[in-house]
Amino acid sequence: MSTVSATRRTTTGSTPPRRPPSLAPLLAHVVIWAGAAGVLALWWTGTASVVGPAGWLTGAGRITGLLAGYACAVLVALMARVPLLDHTLGTDRLARWHAAGGRYTVSLVLAHILLIVWGYTLTTRSGVLHEATTLVLDYPDMLKATAGFLLLVGTGVLSARFARRRMSYETWHYLHFATYLAIFLAFGHQLSNGADFVGRRPAQLAWYALYALVAALIAGYRFIAPIRRARRHRLRVTEVRPEAPGVVSVHLTGERLAELGARPGQFFRWRFLAPGLWWAANPYSLSAPPLPHHLRITVKEAGGHSAALARLRPGTRVWAEGPYGAFTAARQRASKVLLLAGGVGITPLRALFETLPGEVTLVYRARRPEDLALRTELDAIAAARGAAVHYSVDEPAGYSAPLTARALSRLVPDLAAHEVYLCGPPGMTTAARRALRGAGVPRRHIHHESFEF
């Protein structure tokens, strides 16, 4: 594999502690599915018998409606930024579960509507259009539920990959607040029309408790906690330093920053209280180990918000939500580690490169040599800890290298025994995961931080 430069490894450093595989994902699945089973029990205990096609269709509509209502609560809870979930499951995994759950939820809502209308049509022997109109206009809270349904479907469409690529992170983020409104509008019809709740006070109280808990998580962790931390830590910008074309580092200082508990590899959602920036909280990783009075992020220009950071003035106040993410040393279980970065994906890996124990190799890919941000720091870290660092660029062509299993195996001896931390653009990370798996790296040893939203 051709590289721009490499520092020869001379020592391996300390050995990381042996850690058992995390049971957090399994436990989370158990809790979620146990809740779904409890929801199904509502229908089972409230249904004496199911008779005829109309009964089966209506029963299926009730089940899909109950599951859709439960799924809405789970979806919001996954994105409530609860530290326990975020630090054990990881932001990437939570986002993937949220995206998959969103598709299932929209499908359940559509199935619920079709099955209920069809079942009621067979029961009343009326036309489908007449029955649908009657349900919307004559049943309690159905107009609000219809508006909520349209908002939910619209948000689902805008969350599809083809739509996300055509909008900024800020636009996509704020459109997702429509999900909260959709769930709020649809909540009332579940209790006023649902046969599984009408006249069943315990079931109603359980449903209220579920939604109240999720609402409390959202209010606490997404609104109250950021305000409290902003007042306590008083973060502000001290310097903005160019690192590469279109890439700057933002240095920040504050009070009692050790209390944040930030670790190398994690990120915050940053709200800069400057004109045009105060309304958006964007995620950027720490690009250096956190210090008691100093934090640093390194940002590549990729939109209006990130471009504006280059014009920040010292003294600008900052609100930081976090830290988030499980892309940390806590995932390391092997003594040998490969850090594989693409472009600005170097930011969390630079902090890990300095702090991870064991034998560490860094492979950093970029388009041109001048795009290799933080290169001087990386070389200094490699020399200080005796680690290997390899640079690969696409231009000039003589220094390009394929991202394949064979090429990585030649560059990193005994690659299959390495723990891998991977961060970069979607195309690069997809190819890297394929190459790593082809080289024999177990899936559980590949830790991925995504820039997709």
Same domain, yes or no: 311 and 340: no
How many whole angstroms separate alpha carbon 159 and alpha carbon 156? 5
CATH number of the domain where residue 313 is located: 2.40.30.10
Mean pLDDT value of segment 208-225 = 93
pLDDT at 396: 74
pLDDT range class, residue 17, cuts 50, 70, 90: low
Question: What was the pLDDT predicted at 400?
Answer: 67
- Is 19 part of a structural domain of the chain? no
- With vertex at residue 196, the alpha carbon angle to CA 195 and CA 201, rounded to the nearest 5 degrees, is 110
In this structure, of 55-64, 87-96, 99-108, 206-215, the range with the lowest mean pLDDT score is 87-96
Residue 361 lies in a domain: yes
Give residue 162's pLDDT.
66
- 312 and 342 in a single domain? The answer is no
- Cβ burial, residue 158 (10 Å; 0-12/13-18/19+): middle
Instruction: Say if residue 45 is in the same domain as residue 185.
Output: yes
Same-domain check for residues 372 and 241? no
CA distance 263 to 260: 9
> Looking up tokens 């502000």, which residue turns up?
236
More confident residue, 364 or 84: 364
Q: What is the DSSP string of 151-201?
A: HHHHHHHHTSHHHHTTS-HHHHHHHTHHHHHHHHHHHHHHHHH-TTTTT-H
Domain extent, residue 214, equals 24-228
pLDDT grade for 345, boundaries at 50, 70 and 90:
very high
Residue 8 pLDDT class (50, 70, 90 cuts):
very low
Q: Over the stretch 29-83, which tens digit does the pLDDT of each residue have? A: 999 999 999 999 999 998 888 889 999 999 999 999 999 999 999 999 998 889 8
Same domain, 308 and 352: no
CA dist 239 and 288 (Å) reads: 15
Q: Domain holding 345: CATH number? A: 3.40.50.80
Q: What is the pLDDT of residues 150-197, one digit of tens each?
A: 988 888 777 776 666 666 666 766 777 788 899 999 999 999 888 889
Q: What is the mean pLDDT of residues 354-372?
A: 93
Q: Is residue 8 part of a domain?
A: no
Q: Are 348 and 91 in contact (CB under 8 A)?
A: no
Going by the DSSP 8-state scheme, the letter that residue 139 receives in this structure is: S
Q: Domains in the chain: how many in total? A: 3
Boundary (domain end) residue, out of 324, 359, 376: 324
Supply 451's token pair: 């820039």
* Residue 279: predicted pLDDT: 81
- For residues 180-219, one letter each, b for 16 or more C-beta atoms within 10 angstroms of the residue's C-beta and e for the rest, the string is eebbebbbebbbebbebbeebeebbeebeebbeebbebbe
Specify whether 306 is located in the same domain as 341: no
**Which of 298, 324, 350 delimits the end of a domain?**
324
Query: What distance in Å separates the CA atoms of residue 33 and residue 76, rounded to the nearest whole number?
Result: 16
Burial of 323 (0-12, 13-18, 19+ CB in 10 A): buried
DSSP letters, 241-299, are EEEETTEEEEEEE-SSGGGG---TT-EEEEEE-STTTTT--EEEEBSS--BTTBEEEEE
- 182 within domain boundaries: yes
Question: Lowest-confidence range among 10-14, 23-27, 411-415?
Answer: 10-14
pLDDT reported for residue 84: 87
pLDDT tens column, 248-282? 999 999 999 999 999 999 999 999 999 888 888 88
> Are residue 105 and residue 30 in the same domain, yes or no?
yes
Please report whether residue 14 resides in a domain: no
- Please report the pLDDT score of residue 60 as a whole number: 95
In a domain, 7, yes or no: no
| Mean pLDDT, rounded, for 119-135 | 91
In a domain, 441, yes or no: yes
Q: Do both 165 and 206 map to the same domain?
A: yes
- For residue 195, what pLDDT is reported? 86
Residue 16 lies in a domain: no
Q: What is the mean pLDDT of residues 290-298?
A: 96
249 and 300 share a domain? yes
Q: Within this chain, do residues 29 and 149 fall inside the same structural domain, yes or no?
A: yes
Residue 126: what pLDDT?
A: 87
Given a cut of 50, is residue 3 above it in pLDDT?
no
Residues 277 and 304 in one domain: yes
Average pLDDT of the chain, as a whole number: 88
If pLDDT is split at 50, 70 and 90, which confidence band does 2 have?
A: very low
Q: Is the pTM of this model over 0.85?
A: no
- How sure is the predictor about 13, in pLDDT bands with cuts at 50, 70 and 90? very low
Over residues 6-12, the mean pLDDT reads 43
Sheet bearing 267-272, strands edge to edge: 282-285, 267-272, 317-324, 235-244, 247-253, 295-300
- Using a pLDDT cut of 90, give the percent of the chain over it: 60
Percent of the chain with pLDDT over 70: 91
- pLDDT at site 169: 66
Which one of 228, 247, 279 terminates a domain?
228
Residues 308 and 220 placed together within one structural domain of the fold:
no
